[in-house]
Structure 1
Amino acid sequence: MRKDIAEDPERNRIILDLDVYIFKRIENEEEKEERRKEIFEFIQYLKEEGLFEYLELGVIFIDERVLAPSYKKYKYEISGSRKVKEEIDGEIVRMPPRDLRKEMSGVLQQEVNEMSEEELLARMRKIRKDELSRSGIEEYNMAYFSEVFSPGILKERYSTSLEANPNIKKNYKKIEDIKIPEGLNYIFINEERKE
């Protein structure tokens, strides 16, 4: 490291921008609380290691049915389908028709149930990095997500948002600071999910 950078704390920092993709559904509130605890513990670990000061962390829970062999076929059907407006958690979103979503959910679940862990891992490895984005695999498959912004990263990258809403600043000293909302455009139909 250059001496002038090493001696200037404003230029000598580690900015950590992580996106963690978990290919598993959260089935119930108990499981959601367990995931919240794991995220909280990970943040505490990053603090201990000195990696929290400039942290931007996204934890994205992707429905594992995207790993099924027929997923691409349904993906094209879904993208070509006429979208309908649905209200989910008080928000109006445009979704593919419910009957197509229901058929796809059942077929892909059956396929995933028949896959071995090795097959699932092999399918995960085939996902290209450029597909891991809001307009890619996340668009309709993100069941839940959690975003963590350290005070330092808020000041560095999101100062306008911080000034407009100072309540977004959190030090993540308590587990309740971790939020895990549902993805509004989540396309799969589960028995437990309220539609």
Structure 2
Amino acid sequence: MKKIKLLSILGMIILLFTGCLSESDRAERVLQKHLKDRYGEEFVIYGMGKRAGNVRRWYEAAVVYPKSYIGTRKENDSYYWGKGFVELNNGMKGGDTYGGVLLNESANEFYGKKLKELFGENYLAVLDVGGYYEYTDFEKEMNKRKKSYEKSPNGMFPPISGGIYIFGRVENDKDREWYRKQIYEFIQFMKETGTFEYVALWIVIADERVLSDEFIVNNEDKEKLVEIYNKKDKDFREQRAKIMKKYTKSYDETLEENIRKRTENILKSHLYNPNGNNVGFAKLTYYNELLVTPLYSKKYIKSQYLEDNYRLKDYDKEKDVEFTEEFY
């Protein structure tokens, strides 16, 4: 009897405590539990606010990411942030988009081994696997999507977008042709794995010397490069080459492992932002793009009615890899 009475008192205390919490506090607790149950770890939640449509009501967190990110570059990189939701219409039920972050990372890893084989260590894959997803494993997700795409071959589909950034050196036509061949080989890998049909991304070859110790701290030269690029100066190539030549020794003297570490510490959101705001892009490679090529599959071009802008190509020969910019 005493035990029953004690449980009743505890129950009343819990109900009283719960009643004292605001709706937003309860929503955040629901979201935190949802994230913990789904991903097995505690999350940071920012910007929790109430939203309402004609019928639907919900709370939305602008940013969610694992607490394990704290103190790492991912904490400050929006590429690794998801959003959180708590539906109110049918009781409090949590949801999130962080699984899309894991899916993007899985895609980066999937292509990463081939990119390393073809281009070496100094690359960054910043991919965005758009659309509704069922799996956070890229291969599983693409196998599932391909089956649905095959049922409606002319329908719309979310492409693999974003960019692949290679840090290297292009000083003559021979270098340019080497990169053309390597990019062609990468496309063949995408075709072999059945993922090239669904791409709309860019490959950028950027001057590796932007990673040198001296260039990183020289804001004057960075601003000068942006200025002459924006002016579309006809002597841009020569001016750029003259400025960057100063950093050849600084780059060559930097240990390779330090260069790779610096590449890994670049904020991916400064290279690609799926929301279209690529403000940070100019700060890193905009003025030092040596070669740029769009990889748009035939299926994507047709689905978006872009035939007037992009040529339909099978990429069965190296010359199908065309550069929209050549600054070397």
Whether 2:291 is the aligned partner of 1:147: answer: no
Shift of the 24–77 alpha-carbon distance from structure 1 to 2, 3 Å rule, reads closer
User: Separation in 1 of the partners of 2:193 and 2:203?
Assistant: 19
Match of 1:123 among 262, 265, 268: 262
Q: Compute the RMSD of aligned alpha carbons.
A: 3.3
User: Separation in 1 of the partners of 2:294 and 2:148?
Assistant: 32
Q: Partner letter of residue 105 of structure 1?
A: M
Within-5 A mapping of 1:85-96: 85=231, 86-87=233-234
Q: Partner letter of residue 267 of structure 2?
A: R
User: Separation in 2 of the partners of 1:79 and 1:177?
Assistant: 35
Q: Partner letter of residue 207 of structure 2?
A: D
User: Separation in 2 of the partners of 1:116 and 1:125?
Assistant: 15
Whether 2:316 is the aligned partner of 1:173: answer: yes
TM-score of the aligned structures, taking structure 2 as reference length = 0.45
Tell which structure's C-alpha radius of gyration is larger. Answer: 2
TM-score of the aligned structures, taking structure 1 as reference length = 0.71
Match of 1:57 among 201, 209, 221: 201
Cα offsets for 1:130-176 (capped at 9, x unmatched) = 2215434221011111212111111234x1x32x35x6111212211
Within-5 A mapping of 1:174-189: 174-183=317-326
SS in 2 for 1:111: helix
Shift of the 50–14 alpha-carbon distance from structure 1 to 2, 3 Å rule, reads farther
User: Separation in 1 of the partners of 2:193 and 2:250?
Assistant: 41
Partner of 1:92: none
Shift of the 32–107 alpha-carbon distance from structure 1 to 2, 3 Å rule, reads closer
Q: Structure 2: which 5+ residue stretches go unaligned?
A: 1-133, 135-144, 273-280
Partner of 1:190: none
User: Separation in 2 of the partners of 1:13 and 1:82?
Assistant: 36
Cα offsets for 1:73-123 (capped at 9, x unmatched) = 3234542799455215xxxxxx6xx4x973x42432221011111111111
Q: Partner letter of residue 19 of structure 1?
A: G
Partner of 1:68: 212
Shift of the 80–32 alpha-carbon distance from structure 1 to 2, 3 Å rule, reads closer
Identity %: 27
Within-5 A mapping of 1:2-41: 9-10=151-152, 15-41=159-185
Shift of the 83–21 alpha-carbon distance from structure 1 to 2, 3 Å rule, reads closer
User: Separation in 2 of the partners of 1:146 and 1:108?
Assistant: 26
User: Separation in 2 of the partners of 1:87 and 1:50?
Assistant: 42
Aligned length, in residue pairs: 170
Match of 1:79 among 219, 223, 226: 223
Residues 226 and 287, structure 2, Cα contact 8 Å, conserved in 1: no
Q: Which has the higher helix share?
A: 2
Partner of 1:137: 284
Residues 226 and 286, structure 2, Cα contact 8 Å, conserved in 1: no
Q: Structure 1: which 5+ residue stretches go unaligned?
A: 89-94, 187-192
